[in-house]
Amino acid sequence: MRGIPDAISSLSESAQDAKRGEDETRLSVTQVHERHGEFVWRTLHRMGVRPPHVEDVYQEVFIVVHRRLRSFSGQCAITTWLYEICFRVAAGYRRKAHFRREELVSDWSELEPSIAGSSSASPERQLVAARQAKQLERILDELPLEYRVVFVMFEIEGMSSEQIAESVGAPLGTVYSRLYRARKRFARALARLGSAQMENKS
Amino acid sequence: MKTPVRWLEANADAPKGAADLLSAAPSPPPFTDALRYRLAVGVAKTASLPATSAWTSLFAKGAFVAIIGGGSGYLVHALAAKQDAPAPPAPAVAAAPVAVPLVAVPPPVAVEALPALQLPTAPPEAPKLKYDSRLEEAELLEKARALVGSNPSQALRITSDYARQFPKGRLGAEADLIAAQSLLGMGNSAAARSRAQASLKRYPGGLYARQLREIAGQ
């Protein structure tokens, strides 16, 4: 999947920064954007913030970063701190987005060709891929945010458990338990979806 | 601990249809330089609140100077072009100035007939930030934070004001931390500890949990 190597390398870079002992407690908000903007951007996508809204939500994250930066003590990686902020802002977004879920993925023209299959694929194939992407989003939206992030990172982005633990600032055991619970809920939602489709056909 | 097998892998025990859905997952739009720059403008605007940062100020001034400079340049160029334009055929005034026919004099040009110059009248408006109550909340807490060292009792009073004004405030954990720090500053470590403990119960995984735990002595 495109973008995964970038995400992983960006994560590794931030980890290397931390290992180098670089003092990230003295960064300005614009420097945080420069160094970790991509991490914030990808995290918001993982949390289900849709492309039309992600720039607004990104700015909301940086309002919080701006207000709290001086209190960041450097006891954890700055990406972990940013992740916490993204989590809270995205949770607020999801509460609002819940009421407009239908419009969120209704316009397939917003989707990139990679989402609706390759642009060279047949129209039927594109339609099927688009429908699958929509179903996937619906199921992911049902997952609690902390489960969703771990599930997306592991199952879709192919990140290692260690990278996920580092990124979300949680112990490895927590990552596994979130993944396990996310899988259970995903499977249940998928089964529900399948039976609903069967009912529609009959 | 053994890493689970991913559902997209061939030997995975994934539920039926899961792999198809996961394969159709959208890629996030790439974080291009253009996007980074566009976002940076908004971030710089945020950074200028409440005090204007040098970066934004320079950017705004630069944009203003560029627009005014560009407009002036265009005006000068337009006027110069008008002067350099080939003059209408001059009447033979040198030979017989007295006999200049009135019709040979170029007719006055009506102002309305001149081409309109599209000069900007004002610099474009900077994008307005959406109202966010967090800014108001944060302003109040900022005042309290600034007083923790010098006047902790006043800082504590402000955190009480905060709780009254924003009973469902989104910076509650931050307010608790400032209150606990203020109580410590006033020498009331028992009250600081109980305040921190109460906050940890309310916000167990909050951003300030570590600092609150230190005060709570956990």
Chain segment B18-49, per-residue pLDDT in tens = 888 888 887 777 888 888 888 988 888 888 87
Contacts for A152 with CB less than 8 Å, ≥ 6 apart? A46, A140, B25
Please state, in angstroms and rounded to a whole number, the distance separating the CA atoms of residues B6 and A28: 39
Q: What average pLDDT does range A57-70 have in this prediction?
A: 93
Which amino acid is it at B22? Answer: L
Least confident among A21-25, A98-102, B23-27, B178-182: A98-102
Residue B10 CB neighbours (<10 A): 6
Comparing alpha-carbon positions, the chain A residue that sits nearest to B131 is A60
Q: Among candidates A71, A74, A72, A197, which has minimal Cα distance to A132? A: A197
Chain A contact probe: residue of B43, B132, B148, B170 with most A CBs at under 10 A: B43
Give the pLDDT band of residue A106 (cuts 50, 70, 90).
very low
* Owner of token pair 């934070």: B145
| Cβ within 8 Å of B, A 2-41 | 2-3, 6, 28-30, 33-34, 37-38, 41
Query: Chain B: nearest CA to A79, how far in angstroms?
Result: 13
pLDDT > 80? residue A93? yes
Length in residues, chain B? 218
A127 Cβ under 8 Å from any chain B Cβ: no
Q: Is the pTM of this model over 0.95?
A: no
Per-residue pLDDT tens over the stretch B47-73? 887 644 444 445 555 665 666 666 666
Chain A positions in Cβ-Cβ contact with residue B18 (cut-off 8 Å):
186-187, 190
Q: How much is the pLDDT for B127? A: 43
pLDDT above 50 for A8: no
**CA nearest neighbour of A114 among B17, B29, B35:** B29
B148 in Cβ contact with B155 (< 8 Å): yes
Measured in angstroms, the CA of B138 and the nearest CA of chain A are apart by 7
A121-167 confidence digits (pLDDT tens): 677 777 888 888 888 998 999 999 999 999 999 999 999 988 898 88
Burial class of residue A65 (count of CB atoms within 10 Å of its CB; 0-12, 13-18, 19+): buried
A179 band by pLDDT with thresholds 50, 70 and 90 = very high
Q: Could you read off the pLDDT of B4-17 as tens digits, one per residue? A: 888 988 777 888 88
A–B interface: beta-carbon pairs under 8 A: 141
A133 contacts chain B (CB < 8 A): yes
Q: How far apart are the first and last CA of chain B?
A: 29
